[in-house]
Amino acid sequence: MSVAGIDAVSAILLIPAAAAAVLALLPDYRTGSRINVGAALLTLAAALSLFWNRPPVGRYLLVDDLNIVFIVLTTFVGFTTSVFSASYIAHELKTGRLTPTYLRFYHAMYQVLMFAMNLALVANNIGLMWVAIELATLTTVLMVGIYRTHEALEAAWKYFILGSVGIALALFGTILVYMAARPTVGEGLDAMVWTHLVARAAGFDPALLNLAFVFLLLGYGTKVGLAPLHAWLPDAHAEGPTPISAVLSGLLLNVALYALLRFKMLLAANPAALSPGPLMVILGLVSLVFASFMLYRRRDIKRMFAYSSIEHMGVITFAFGMGGPLANFAGLLHMTMHSLTKSAIFFAVGHIAQIKGTQKIADIGGLTETHPVLGWGLVLGVIAIAGLPPLGIFMSEFLVVSSTFAREPLLAIPLVFGLLVGFGALLLRLGGLAFGEPRGATGVAEASYGPMFAHLALVLCAGVYLPGPVVAWFQNVARLLG
Amino acid sequence: MDKFSFDVAHMLAGSLVLVSFVQLYQDRIYALLNVFALHAFVLALSVAWQAYVHDAPHLYVTALIALGFKAVVIPVVLHRIVQRLGIHREIETVVGIGPTMLAGMGLVALSMVVMLRATPEADPLAREDLAFALSVVLLGLLLMVTRRNAVSQVVGFMSLENGLMLAAAGAKGMPLVVEISVAFSILIAFIVIGIFLFRIRERFDTVDVRALDRFRGERG
């Protein structure tokens, strides 16, 4: 049993790593994209098997109720995105935006990114987790710059500089946690093992722990895309290949948030340390309200949805900051729904931008008439992300708002305000994009609709009926988060 | 720990902060690279001293990496790049030297206040080391935001990483994992930056980041 469990964890790390090596050597891009999909599917299967075979906790790797949710979500979206990416890049090759050599590099990097994210999620060692997140950052920097245009290079440079600064601050925070733990846990490796830390956190020096958390919040918060540290996010989303935008929004932001949650649990285990909740609540609200207003002035479609990601990461951070079983439950649900919906939207937007040959909102219109499947897919996605019933995000936002009203009615006012402002902006833009006079090129769509509708169907299901075992699992995790 | 070794460690960490200040007012790119080499050299000395005092032989590896890689290889390579690109003219600072130095002093004061208050119980070497390390990190950040040239931003980032190394070395018994990872990440970062420099060169014929500013998101 335990042997099989260890194998499952190694599998979700080794499959992407091996696939990356193979893809880097393979010259043919068609085989490359198939191997990419196959490897992602295998990783997903290995991740699902973790439910039955949970490995024992090691000094480096850990699988518990919390990170299984993240791992399954990551590998699932990783798989669907690889399917989408296969049809997306074929078009990019045809239009000459990418060359076969770059595609080889792209596929290898995609698997390295999957490896890095999985490693960050299963790491039981705060140093290892930091290394993994750093690796994920560097990989995405390279992917964002892959088109080598003016805009792509600036976006990648900005992302690189801001990401590195964030990562550096997070490392400083990690060192401070070690310093705080050393007197209690003892020198050496043990003082970086998360499970040891959390078990003995009550004896740590609270002042050092507080300071560490501030650095970690700023550092990993940059990666989550929280305002005012979000400046890299819209550029990186808009200028990279769309599959990468989907993975960035849907997964990488979550992984950074996961790191923050781990440290939040550490602080919660020390009664004398400051409570991390209010800091997260403030950053979350600022991001939400700021991004909602920014949504109105967007002229680039991918950039608009990037701001919408900042908005939703704000809501999620807010919910986890509030804490308590109900708000944590809502935060987890919202995170899952947001990942699924936002990547579905990016799948649609990717094909739309390819057909129209532009990302400018002004040049895109009447999609439901010219491309009914894509157009209605986008409508459904935007309705979901704006938070209309009966889709999943409505339910999670409703839970966030109602739990806030019950405990801190004053905080609920800016929350609801931000949500409504964002809602208005999205629907306003949707009208022009999907309905009315068709604008722009009307070429035939060579799209794969499977991934988009699979995600949207899941979001719809979750909104109408959430299965009992899922609810029980999320409730359990919400209790763990405290 | 006896008073002498404590004083030496203190002096070395303090010198690192001083060299960070020296970096701030360099307005020629070659001079900046030379000062950075000195910065890495002082770091290597400081880490080696920690290794000696704490009897932690693995730290010598870290010191060697700092000495060989950061104090020699990187400055030499950057010299070459600068030469090849022909950008050895004056560095344009966004803010003047005076305000930058004042801001630097403010940041050092801030890190002293924050760290020394937060760590009254930690052992004195560790806490003062951390205070110095935080100062170096913040000064590195300041260098990054006051420069426009891509090469000097990279130098700022590397001196920021030097500050992190100082902190990691000062944390007694910290596993090697982290030191190697830091060194390794610098290596990767450098490769990335190298690629970037060449790409920027290819596209714009300059490494002045202002050339990139033509794109400001959504002006058009």
Domain borders along chain B are: 3-214
Which residues make Cβ contacts (< 8 Å) with residue A2, sequence separation at least 6? A53, A55, A56
A439 DSSP β-pair partners: A365
pLDDT score for A390: 84
- Average pLDDT of the segment spanning A442-454: 83
Q: Cβ separation of B192 and A208 shorter than 8 Å?
A: no
What is the C-alpha radius of gyration for chain B, rounded to an integer number of angstroms? Answer: 18
pLDDT score for A153: 80
How many CB atoms are located within 10 Å of the residue B58 CB?
A: 12
Report the alpha-carbon distance of residue A57 to residue A391 in Å, rounded: 37
Q: What is the DSSP letter of A357?
A: T
Which sign does the torsion angle of CA A292, A295, A301, A306 carry?
negative
Is the Cβ–Cβ distance between B150 and B194 less than 8 Å? no
Name chain B contacts of A150, Cβ cutoff 8 Å. 203-204, 212, 214-215
Is the Cβ–Cβ distance between A313 and A257 less than 8 Å? yes
- Average pLDDT of the segment spanning B58-64: 81
The residue whose two tokens read 């260098």 is: B143
Cα of A459 to nearest chain B Cα, Å: 32
pLDDT higher for A199 or A157?
A199
- Whether residue B109 is predicted with pLDDT greater than 80 in this model: the reply is yes
B219 pLDDT band, cuts 50/70/90, is very low
The encoded tokens of residue B35 equal 């000062």
Cα of A457 to nearest chain B Cα, Å: 34
Longest CA span, chain A: 69
How many CB atoms are located within 10 Å of the residue A282 CB?
A: 15
pLDDT digit string (tens) for B37-53?
999 999 999 988 988 88
Do you know the residue count of chain A?
482
Q: Cβ separation of A303 and B173 shorter than 8 Å?
A: no
Is the Cβ–Cβ distance between A362 and A441 less than 8 Å? no
pLDDT score for B182: 64
Closest partner CB to B214 (pick from A150, A160, A171): A150
Report the alpha-carbon distance of residue A452 to residue A26 in Å, rounded: 28
Report the alpha-carbon distance of residue A119 to residue A130 in Å, rounded: 10
pLDDT score for A79: 95
pLDDT higher for B189 or B132?
B132
B203 pLDDT band, cuts 50/70/90, is very low
pLDDT higher for A210 or A441?
A210
- Whether residue B188 is predicted with pLDDT greater than 60 in this model: the reply is no
Helix axes A65-94, A450-464, angle to 10 degrees: 150
- Average pLDDT of the segment spanning B68-75: 82
Q: What angle do CA A198, B137, A178 make, to 5 degrees?
A: 20
pLDDT score for B176: 56
Closest CA to B104 of B52, B66, B141: B141
Interface size A-B, in CB pairs within 8 Å, comes to 125
Mean residue pLDDT across chain B: 78
Q: Cβ separation of A153 and B157 shorter than 8 Å?
A: no
Name chain A contacts of B186, Cβ cutoff 8 Å. none
Which sign does the torsion angle of CA A235, A236, A240, A242 carry?
negative
Q: Cβ separation of B212 and A210 shorter than 8 Å?
A: no
Report the alpha-carbon distance of residue A432 to residue A299 in Å, rounded: 12
pLDDT score for B198: 54
Q: Cβ separation of B164 and A164 shorter than 8 Å?
A: no
Please give the single-letter amino acid code of residue B69. F
pLDDT score for A310: 95
pLDDT score for A1: 41
pLDDT score for A43: 95
- Average pLDDT of the segment spanning B198-204: 50
pLDDT higher for A83 or B84?
A83
The encoded tokens of residue B219 equal 């002006």
- Whether residue A36 is predicted with pLDDT greater than 90 in this model: the reply is yes
A313 pLDDT band, cuts 50/70/90, is very high
pLDDT higher for A197 or B91?
A197
Name chain B contacts of A187, Cβ cutoff 8 Å. 172-173
pLDDT higher for B2 or B103?
B103
- Average pLDDT of the segment spanning B131-160: 86
B79 pLDDT band, cuts 50/70/90, is confident
Cβ burial of A94 (10 Å; 0-12, 13-18, 19+) is exposed
Report the alpha-carbon distance of residue A294 to residue A262 in Å, rounded: 30
Report the alpha-carbon distance of residue A256 to residue A266 in Å, rounded: 16
- Whether residue A306 is predicted with pLDDT greater than 70 in this model: the reply is yes
Name chain B contacts of A174, Cβ cutoff 8 Å. 178
pLDDT score for A183: 85
- Average pLDDT of the segment spanning A397-412: 93
Cα of A478 to nearest chain B Cα, Å: 31
Question: Of the given ranges (A4-8, A187-191, A217-221), which has the lowest mean pLDDT?
Answer: A4-8
Instruction: Tell me if the bond preceding A228 is cis, omega within 30° of 0.
Output: yes
pLDDT digit string (tens) for B133-145?
999 999 998 998 8
Report the alpha-carbon distance of residue A337 to residue A462 in Å, rounded: 8
Question: Of the given ranges (A157-166, A220-229, B88-97, B195-204), which has the lowest mean pLDDT?
Answer: B195-204
pLDDT score for B205: 47
pLDDT score for B194: 58
- Whether residue B191 is predicted with pLDDT greater than 80 in this model: the reply is no
Closest CA to A245 of A166, A152, A116, A115: A152
- Average pLDDT of the segment spanning A368-390: 90
- Whether residue B215 is predicted with pLDDT greater than 70 in this model: the reply is no
Please give the single-letter amino acid code of residue A49. S
- Average pLDDT of the segment spanning B4-15: 89
Mean residue pLDDT across chain A: 89
pLDDT score for B26: 86
Is the Cβ–Cβ distance between A345 and A378 less than 8 Å? yes
B179 pLDDT band, cuts 50/70/90, is low
The encoded tokens of residue A5 equal 């469990």
- Whether residue A242 is predicted with pLDDT greater than 80 in this model: the reply is yes
pLDDT score for A2: 47
Residue in chain B nearest A303 by alpha carbon: B217
Is the Cβ–Cβ distance between A303 and A240 less than 8 Å? no
Question: Of the given ranges (A98-112, B13-27, B146-160), which has the lowest mean pLDDT?
Answer: B146-160
B213 pLDDT band, cuts 50/70/90, is low
A380 pLDDT band, cuts 50/70/90, is very high
**ipTM for the whole complex:** 0.85
Cβ burial of B121 (10 Å; 0-12, 13-18, 19+) is exposed
pLDDT higher for A179 or A333?
A333
- Average pLDDT of the segment spanning B63-71: 82
Q: What angle do CA A34, A37, A42 make, to 5 degrees?
A: 125
pLDDT score for A311: 95
